């Protein structure tokens, strides 16, 4: 069971292979990229404990030497300290310009290791082996790499495309349900932004995707990656259309910052709340009927996802502070807030200069619902 999605980017084109058993077949998949029989794998401690042995066995059978570094799990890793550690470790391992670095983990590992590969010796190739649903459908594809700083999320980074992505959906069986649901937040985003038929399908089969049905997972990951690959091929560096992938993200980044990038709110959970709010905002601006945001929220709720600020435990700042946190988002252009809004499910567009008072009102309503 395997699908292949091609990301067409001229000399930087690559395949995303999606299926089961790809970790065990990793050596054969990666072999054509190697100029010498050695790879450096960077992972996190959780993924290392669950899956690294399988990767090592696969490489051993093909006579490929492996050296591995396991970073601490969690968003806190995605900063300067672990980035420096990773780069210096790769140099100590004598990774050269023609070598391949493997990012084996979720979005944190993929972003951090991709950025390390982008700057190491002015750029080495890297392979993404994403181990979460979120990383398989979004962060491993498209070449956005980077780390967080105290000023905000993903504010330092580089566009650096991987040479290959291996999305082994078999690993999803070991994902905690909360992580799985958070990844599903990004899956729904694709239907909402550009494929109403896919959203219809998710309404019927979303429970199978999250519940572990491999055929449903293969379809959901493949369709998500196809959509992302198409957008990235047309707009690699986010001059236009790629911004659609940020549906829900302006709200999400403010909420993540307000909750300290902690496990009070996982990124995909923030995306789900952000999508619900973006559709609500679209309705308040008269772009779509009330039934549209209701349908979005209903599906997210039915899946067990967070959809409102009321679903976030603990204190949140007031609406004005949340609005100012949106101003830290790197999609701000000339100080104006940019939102992804929608005319309908599957029909999103980029909107600049959205009136601040409408956003403020929406945030206030959402905060009031917590009382
Ligand atoms: N995750 C948004 C993007 O890759 O553009």
- Between the CA of residue 183 and those of 4, 117, 209, 222, 335, what are the distances in Å? 20, 25, 11, 14, 31
Both 88 and 183 in a single domain? no
Both 303 and 204 in a single domain? yes
Both 186 and 143 in a single domain? no
From ligand 1's centre to the CA of 322, what distance in Å? 22
Indicate if the pLDDT at residue 21 is higher than 70. yes
Which residue among 189, 228, 257, 297 is the active-site one? Answer: 228
Indicate if the pLDDT at residue 61 is higher than 60. yes
Per-residue pLDDT band at 86 (split at 50, 70, 90): very high
**pLDDT value for 329:** 55
Q: Locate tokens 């991709």: which residue?
A: 114
**pLDDT value for 356:** 86
Both 131 and 161 in a single domain? yes
DSSP string of 188-241? HHHHHHH-HHHHHHHHHHHHHHHHT-HHHHHHHHHHHHHHHHHHHHH-TT-SSG
Both 56 and 168 in a single domain? yes
Both 128 and 207 in a single domain? no
**pLDDT value for 336:** 64
Please say if 253 is a catalytic residue.
Answer: yes
Question: Which pair of tokens denotes residue 112?
Answer: 């951090």
Residue 118, sorted as left (phi over 0), alpha (psi -120 to 50) or beta, turns out to be alpha
Question: Which pair of tokens denotes residue 302?
Answer: 């039915």
Question: Which pair of tokens denotes residue 340?
Answer: 């992804």
Best of 144, 225, 233, 240 to mutate for ligand 1, by most ligand atoms within 8 A of CB?
A: 144
Residue 232 Cα: closest atom of ligand 1: 5
pLDDT tens digits along 242-265: 999 999 999 998 999 899 878 899
Question: Which pair of tokens denotes residue 121?
Answer: 């010796």
pLDDT tens digits along 251-309: 998 999 899 878 899 999 999 999 999 999 999 999 999 999 999 999 999 999 999 99
Both 14 and 117 in a single domain? yes
In sequence order, the β-bridge partners of residue 2 are 19
* Owning domain of residue 234: 177-368
CATH number at residue 296: 1.20.1090.10
**pLDDT value for 334:** 58
Distance of CA 24 to the CA centre of its chain: 24
Residue 139 Cα: closest atom of ligand 1: 1
Query: What is the model's pTM?
Result: 0.95
| Maximum alpha-carbon separation in the chain | 62
Q: Which of 174, 209, 231 is the last residue of a domain?
A: 174
Higher-scoring residue by pLDDT: 62, 152? 62
Please say if 122 is a catalytic residue.
Answer: yes
**pLDDT value for 331:** 54
Best of 142, 225, 231, 275 to mutate for ligand 1, by most ligand atoms within 8 A of CB?
A: 142
Mean pLDDT of the chain: 95
The total number of structural domains that make up the chain:
2
Please say if 205 is a catalytic residue.
Answer: no
**pLDDT value for 353:** 84
Q: Which of 140, 174, 208 is the last residue of a domain?
A: 174
- Nearest residue to 220 via CA among 9, 370, 18: 18
Both 230 and 362 in a single domain? yes
Both 184 and 170 in a single domain? no
- Nearest residue to 194 via CA among 238, 144, 143, 246: 246
From ligand 1's centre to the CA of 138, what distance in Å? 7
pLDDT tens digits along 122-137: 999 999 999 999 999 9
Per-residue pLDDT band at 150 (split at 50, 70, 90): confident
Indicate if the pLDDT at residue 327 is higher than 80. no
Please say if 246 is a catalytic residue.
Answer: yes
Please say if 144 is a catalytic residue.
Answer: yes
Indicate if the pLDDT at residue 102 is higher than 90. yes
Both 240 and 170 in a single domain? no
Both 92 and 200 in a single domain? no
From ligand 1's centre to the CA of 214, what distance in Å? 25
Higher-scoring residue by pLDDT: 75, 164? 164
Give the pairing type, strands 125-130 and 100-105.
Answer: parallel
Lowest mean pLDDT among 12-16, 39-43, 224-228, 350-354: 350-354
Give the pairing type, strands 144-149 and 125-130.
Answer: unpaired
Q: Are 162 and 171 in contact (CB under 8 A)?
A: no
CATH number at residue 8: 3.40.50.1970
176 three-class SS: coil
Average of pLDDT values for 31-60?
Answer: 97
Residue 144 Cα: closest atom of ligand 1: 4
**pLDDT value for 335:** 54
User: What are the two backbone dihedrals, phi and then psi, of residue 286, each rounded to the nearest 5 degrees?
Assistant: 75, 20
Average of pLDDT values for 334-359?
Answer: 89
Both 314 and 225 in a single domain? yes
Average of pLDDT values for 22-34?
Answer: 97
User: What percentage of the chain carries pLDDT values higher than 70?
Assistant: 97
**Which residue's alpha carbon is nearest to atom 2 within ligand 1?**
245
Question: Which pair of tokens denotes residue 93?
Answer: 């391992």
DSSP string of 320-333? HHHHHHHTTSTT-B
pLDDT tens digits along 184-215: 999 999 999 999 999 999 999 999 999 999 99
Q: Which of 151, 174, 197 is the last residue of a domain?
A: 174
Indicate if the pLDDT at residue 152 is higher than 80. no
**pLDDT value for 1:** 76
């Amino acid at each position: 069971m395997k699908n292949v999605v091609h990301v067409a980017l001229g000399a930087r084109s690559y395949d995303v292979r999606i299926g089961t058993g790809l970790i065990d077949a990793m050596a054969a998949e990666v072999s054509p990229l190697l100029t010498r029989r050695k790879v450096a794998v960077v992972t996190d401690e959780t993924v290392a404990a669950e899956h690294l042995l399988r990767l090592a066995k696969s490489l051993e059978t093909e006579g490929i030497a492996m050296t591995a570094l396991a970073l601490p799990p969690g968003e806190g890793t995605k900063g300067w300290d672990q980035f420096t550690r990773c780069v210096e470790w790769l140099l100590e391992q004598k990774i050269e310009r023609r070598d391949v670095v493997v990012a084996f983990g979720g979005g944190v590992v993929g972003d951090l290791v991709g950025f390390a590969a982008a700057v190491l010796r002015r750029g080495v190739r890297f392979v993404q082996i994403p181990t979460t649903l979120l990383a398989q459908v979004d962060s491993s594809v498209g070449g956005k790499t980077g780390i967080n700083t105290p000023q905000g999320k993903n504010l330092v980074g580089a566009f650096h495309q991987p040479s290959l992505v291996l999305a082994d959906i078999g690993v999803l069986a070991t994902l905690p349900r909360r992580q799985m649901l958070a990844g599903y937040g990004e899956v729904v985003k694709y239907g909402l932004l550009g494929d109403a038929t896919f959203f219809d399908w998710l309404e019927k089969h979303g429970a199978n995707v999250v519940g572990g049905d491999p055929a449903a997972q293969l379809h959901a990951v493949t369709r998500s990656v196809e959509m992302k690959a198409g957008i990235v091929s047309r707009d690699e560096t986010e001059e236009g259309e790629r911004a659609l992938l940020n549906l829900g993200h302006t709200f999400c980044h403010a909420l993540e910052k307000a909750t300290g990038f902690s496990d009070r709110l996982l990124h995909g959970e923030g995306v789900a709340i952000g999508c619900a709010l973006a559709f609500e905002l679209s309705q308040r601006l008269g772009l779509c009927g009330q039934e549209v945001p209701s349908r979005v929220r209903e599906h997210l709720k039915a899946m067990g996802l967070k959809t409102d600020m009321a679903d976030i435990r603990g204190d949140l700042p007031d609406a004005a502070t949340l609005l100012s946190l949106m101003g830290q988002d790197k999609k701000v252009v000339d100080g104006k807030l940019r939102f992804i809004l929608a005319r309908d499910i599957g029909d999103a567009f980029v909107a600049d200069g959205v009136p601040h008072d409408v956003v403020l009102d929406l945030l206030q309503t959402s905060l009031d619902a917590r009382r």
